[in-house]
Structures are given as C-alpha cells and as structure tokens.
Structure 1
Amino acid sequence: MTTIGAVLCGGRSSRMGEDKASLQLEGRPMVEWVAGSMREAGLESIVALGGNASISLPIIPDELEQEGPLHVLIKAIERLGDILVCPCDVPLVSARLLREILAAGATSTEPVVLARSDQLQPLIGLYKESAASLLSAGFARGERGPKFVLEEGDFAVVEAKAAETQNINTPTQFEALVVDLSSSNGGR
C-alpha cells in the first residue's frame, strides 16, 4: 500500500494568534515547508488534515477541530490507509528524518513515531491502516491525542534532534526562526 503524506493544519493556533499553516517563511507558507520535505522523502500524494482554503494541498476536513488531533488522524487513516503525519508548525523537519520513519515502518504493521530526548512526539509518525482500531478505541474513551493511546499498543520509535522537530507555536518562536533562517542565508 502507498503511504500518503498528511500535514496537520487544524487547531486553533491560539498561542500564535493566527493560522500557523499560512505563515510565510522565506516566501513559502509553513505548510509547504513540511510538504516539501515529504516530497523529498519520496511521498507523491500529500494532503492537509484540517486547515482552510488558503492551503494549496487537498484538505481532509476536521469536523471536530476543537477536540484535538486524534479524530482527524483516524478519519485520514480510514480514508487514505497508511499515512506519514507531521504538523505544519514543524517546518524544519527533514526529508532524511521522514525517510528514516518510513524505513522503520517498512516491515511493521505498528505505528512508528518520533521521540526527542525520550519524549514521544506522536504527531510526527507513520500510522498504518492497522492502527485505526486502536486509535478509535482511545477516542471513544475520551482521548484526544495519540500519545496515551499508543502506550496501550505496540509501536516503534525513531529518535530525532531537537532542531529539526522544533514546534513553532508563538510569535516569538516564529520571529526567532525567521532570524535563524536569514542568518543561515537561505534555510533550505
């Protein structure tokens, strides 16, 4: 089965105060930075999970946007099959890291998620079609994110560096990233 790239674009962006997916970094919206890394990693089909019409990707709407990301993950898996997911607010995620996640999941039916300094980052990961029932059961019990649901089943972990998995959640973090990219002369 072909794996589909899925960029998480929903949510309230309450700390940022505006839609994170559309924030421009070096002339490109953050969602496109993540989608570009997914393309470089070899994924041909990429969708947005949630988000608004300004996004240039096909959108799978999140009907329960205020309920956390678990519901839209489940809907995407049910609709698309295997997905490699990453939030739009992690624009420096590398194609190398995404390929590493895909490789770790090549021989497994279990989810493969990211960890950074022994902390699970389950919104960056490979979710196989077989994980839908585990995730759905967790959602039915009231869970709204995948972290605690995954702990009830088997999953693999890929370790990552902090820089390439940094979430950009506030205007201060965004401005610091803009400065870092301009001082490194071009980002990617």
Structure 2
Amino acid sequence: MTKLNGLVLAGGRSTRMGEDKSQLNYHGKPQREHLTDLLRPYCTQVFWSVNTDQAAALAGTTQPLVVDAFDVPTPLNGILSALQHEPDAAWLVVACDMPLLTNRSLDALIDGRNPAKLATVFYDSDGRLPEPLLGIYEPAFWPVMQKAVAQGVQSPRTLLRMNDTQLLTVPDLRELTNSNDPAGRDAILTQTTAGDSRS
C-alpha cells in the first residue's frame, strides 16, 4: 500500500467565521492540533495545509506544513499543493472545520479505501454527492488534477464526480458537520461540552 500522509486543510480565509477556524477550541486544544492527533495513528506524517500568511506566522514551527502553491481560491489548492509536495504519497485529507469527526469515520475510510481508484471519499450529508474534504487522494490523481485545473476546474467535488472515485457511506452523518460561522460554532460547542460532561 502506498505511503499515507495526513493533511489538515487549514488554509481557508475563515471570512464567515471571523476568526481562524483552525485555531478554534472544541476539544481542549486548537482544532488543527486536535485533528493532527486524530490522523497521526493512520499516517506516516501529518501536515497542515496553510496559506502564505499562516505560513509566515508559523515560521520556526516544527509542525510540517504544505503551503498553498496555486492560484486556486478553493480547498483544492491545499490538496493540489500536497500532491505536488509529495506526489508519490497518498493523502488523507480532512477539513479543519469538522469538529465532530472521530476515529469511527476515519476507521471506516481506511477500511473502505480502494487504492485502485483515484480517491476514496464518503457521500456528503445529503447522501448524493461526494464529500471532498474528508477522504484519501491517491498519487494517480495528481496528473489528472493538474490537467483539470488547467482546463478551469476549481471544485474538488466536481473533480471527484468527473473521475473514478470510491464512494462510501459515513457511519455517522453528524461527523461531516461543518462549522463555518459563529452560530454553527456555538451549536457545536454546546454539543461537545455536553459530551465531555457525560464522559
């Protein structure tokens, strides 16, 4: 099986949230650190996907980074940059704004991985389309992505729909919940706090 790296997508501008989503604290530490800890048992190494401003702020960190290298204003930039950074590796990608993600979904993703496909992802919360921001992208996807981007494709979901992808059903739809704005953040904080108090 191909080497598997982890990638926490943290390079978004967080305009709706009004603060860096990757640094929100749902589990006693910044979300990017929490997800790094979740991914580490599955991966050879876990990287943070960051934009150039974040990279400057993280100068001197020991945390491995993949800095956005393309003029693509979507999360596809992070995935492309990772595949360019290490094109012989597969990448287990997770968005930083999935605070309810647990090992249950990651186990299902790893168990359902089909390395003969270009990617393995779950159906999204509607159960109809691929969820591009939690999945495994194989090395063979790199040249396909390059060609598609050159033709103007910028949506990772569109890329997955256009190509040979392994689609799985997520064990718990709640784990795909995105926290994109203050109202969503507060609702999830209520859930995670209640869960912590019961444990």
- TM-score of the superposed pair, with normalisation by structure 2: 0.84
Q: Which digits, 9 at most, give the CA deviation of each residue in 1:162-186, with x for residues without a partner?
A: 2111011011111111111111225
* 1:82 maps onto 2:94 in alignment: no
* Structure 1 contact 12–66 (Cα < 8 Å) conserved: no
Residue 56 of structure 1: how far off its partner (Å): 7.0
Report % sequence identity: 25
**In 2: Cα distance, 1:49 partner to 1:24 partner:** 18
- The residue aligned with 2:112 is 104
- The residue aligned with 1:175 is 186
Residue segments in structure 2 that go unaligned for 5+ positions in a row:
none
* Structure 2 contact 114–166 (Cα < 8 Å) conserved: no
Secondary structure of 2:163's counterpart equals coil
* 1:158 maps onto 2:168 in alignment: yes
* 1:13 maps onto 2:26 in alignment: no
Match for 2:91: what amino acid? I
**In 1: Cα distance, 2:114 partner to 2:165 partner:** 13
**In 2: Cα distance, 1:157 partner to 1:67 partner:** 25
**In 2: Cα distance, 1:132 partner to 1:187 partner:** 44
- TM-score of the superposed pair, with normalisation by structure 1: 0.89
Residue segments in structure 1 that go unaligned for 5+ positions in a row:
none
- The residue aligned with 1:184 is 195
Secondary structure of 1:86's counterpart equals strand
**In 1: Cα distance, 2:102 partner to 2:26 partner:** 16
Q: How many residues align?
A: 187
* Structure 1 contact 110–130 (Cα < 8 Å) conserved: yes
Match for 2:35: what amino acid? V
Q: Which digits, 9 at most, give the CA deviation of each residue in 1:21-75, with x for residues without a partner?
A: 01122421111222222124x2241001115245873211114476212233122
